[in-house]
Structure 1
């Protein structure tokens, strides 16, 4: 099958990882895949921000004009899609949803191609809450317009699927496909002790976090908890990544006189993250929006680490408390600290949870190749019944 993968992502972060892995999974299943997307305008160092000229434009334009420019960009994307479709003659379109992006729906209607829409967040809500929207009404209307007209909509969690239903998407056209792992990245890794030795952390109980560190991750709480631990526990916080909250976390560690118990690797190539993460004894999944499917969670499972995560519905879709993870109450001011205390003092419990973690990948079929197989099956079903039913 020939598939055109359409997106508007121009940054190098978790979004690009999802894109690359899904394309790789489809190709591994024997399909021809072409990418139809803007050129990456710059590197964000894993920061998750807008890349290159996109970020500059966003900073310069008043918010209403920037949002109208996003809508207008659909014309540019549509021309690119039309050219790719005429050149490649794909059997269908797979699109990563983004707010104000209408080109995929237009191309689907014009060429009669099935369109599968991957949805990672309710962008109209997310941007209104975190980045601000000048035109929220327009954003919601266009979001619903796109969601309702795709042949299949693939939210990353059941929580997000319920939101799609609430705005009028037919439940029969929704298939939940979470994030996943590439098994090739988890072969021939060092042991935990070897990984610790390479980082100068031999003999320490390592609490680990991977990703772009922001204020809401509240790693300062972890530093404060470490400062209260007996010296003989030898607890250490290892952060694989960087971010705007780094300076404050390092300042907190210095103030509490535990700077020697905190390490940041800084931004590292994604290929190195698994080998470095093998040094973790306990892996942190910090607070996040209720509809998310965080990449690092699946990586922790693949590494067979003891996971500490907030007790919330999207995690219940993947994790079981006390079996393959330890879930804490995010509303409890000491929730994550209590979880760490429990696992730090009960090594047998921690070991049992870590041992069960890796099985989740196989039990729930959480590899990118398996996800791609499902996507191809849906695309084939769209071809069989004929595209346009959702138009």
Structure 2
């Protein structure tokens, strides 16, 4: 099949380094590996496309990037960002139509973004299906955590996308419920959690060496950007309860705005020498860091609307790391307590520490769960997700 892949969000460059960009790259790779042809339409390329296996069409909006404006007032800058994002969606739609005229696409796959209805609009004009990948309730996030000026237009675009997409691939049950609440038909909404590239993440990866961590240390590891919602506070509170004499060492792999806070916490809690913060690590090197973990941590705060599908969880599993995760949201679906990991009560440092200590003292448990985790991780691949979309596309094309 020939697939038009849309990623219109300015915050998600195709060749970026954060999780959303990795998701784009991995899904494109999976489609190509399955024998399909992909053309990516975007407003922001990011880094180098060397080795990229798909064609790329980058549109150029007439509105300058507001981030380049030095003296712009905050409100004016935000309006310009929103206007520019809307234009990117319109340009992507037209570019896709033009590309289709020479070599037709079989279906459109769009990563849902706040300001784009390019996929569903192009699909209606061309008479082909559009599948929408929804990773988060973006309008809700924007209103809650960021600033939003053109709220009404954003809501109209969201309703249009959810109402007209031929199928929606939501990363979690909670995101699926949100899409249905906002107008998507339940029978068109499928839960497709994030995945992992098992050619990169697997148990035979060699562990990273050095880093100033003693060879005999029992390493509790965490991967992720250092932001509030990634559970750094419960991670540190829990680690603090583990006795220093038992050789525990915390390895935090990532960078972000809370790094100064993390380092301050370490000093204040007198954890110096027991905690290593790696800083930013290239994604290609992440597997070797995860392989160094004796236990991998996925701690999250107890929140009512936990809708995430953490990439780190699938990467931990695929490498066969014993996981201690908060018992919340999709983590309870992915981790079977006592078989593929241990679940801890969210925001309960003592319970988190107890679960880590259980792995520390019970080698047989650690080895058994490590093996089961690797088997579970090997099932949850990007290839599997792409194949599911191909099957849906085949059904829609046959029906049409």
TM-score (norm 2): 0.85
Structure ranking higher on relative contact order (CA contacts 8 Å, 6+ apart)? 1
1:359 to 375, 381, 385: 375
1:46 alignment partner in structure 2 = none
Cα distance in 1 for partners of 2:47, 2:3 equals 27
SS in 2 for 1:290: coil
Q: Distance in 2 between matches of 1:201 and 1:84?
A: 56
Report the Cα distance in structure 2 between the residues aligned to 1:361 and 1:53, rounded to whole angstroms: 40
Aligned match for 1:373, one of 387, 395, 400: 387
Q: 1: distance between equivalents of 2:235 and 2:372?
A: 25
2:283 is aligned to 270
User: Against the structure 1 CA distance between its residues 95 and 134, is the aligned structure 2 distance closer, same or farther, given a 3 Å change threshold?
Assistant: same
Aligned to 1:13: 18
SS where residue 21 of structure 1 aligns? helix
User: Does structure 2 retain, via aligned residues, the 8 Å contact 1:220–1:252?
Assistant: no
Residues in 2 aligned to 1:26 and 1:325: alpha-carbon distance in whole angstroms: 30
In the other structure, the counterpart of 1:389 is: none
Match of 1:49 in 2: none
2:155 maps to 140
Greater Cα shift, 159-168 or 301-310: 159-168
Q: Tell me if structure 2 keeps the 8 A contact 1:115–1:152.
A: yes
Q: How many residues align?
A: 374
What is the distance in 2 between the residues matched to 1:374 and 1:142?
26
Q: Deviation of residue 367 (structure 1)?
A: 1.1
Secondary structure at the aligned position of 2:226 is classed as coil
- Within the alignment, does 1:124 sit opposite 2:129 as a pair? no
Q: Equivalent residue for 1:174? A: 189
The residue correspondences of 1:282-321 to structure 2 (distance < 5 A) are 282-287=295-300, 290-321=306-337
Q: Which residue of structure 1 aligns with residue 111 of structure 2?
A: 96
Structure 1 counterpart of 2:60: none
TM-score by length of 1: 0.87
Please tell me whether the aligned partners of residues 5 and 36 of structure 1 are also in contact (alpha carbons under 8 angstroms). yes
Whole-angstrom CA distance in 2 between matches of 1:59 and 1:245: 26
RMSD across aligned C-alpha pairs, in angstroms? Answer: 2.6
CA shift in 2, pair 1:323/1:25, >3 Å:
same
Structure 1 residue ranges without an equivalent (≥5)? 44-51, 387-391
Contact 2:359 2:366 (C-alpha < 8 Å) held by counterparts: yes
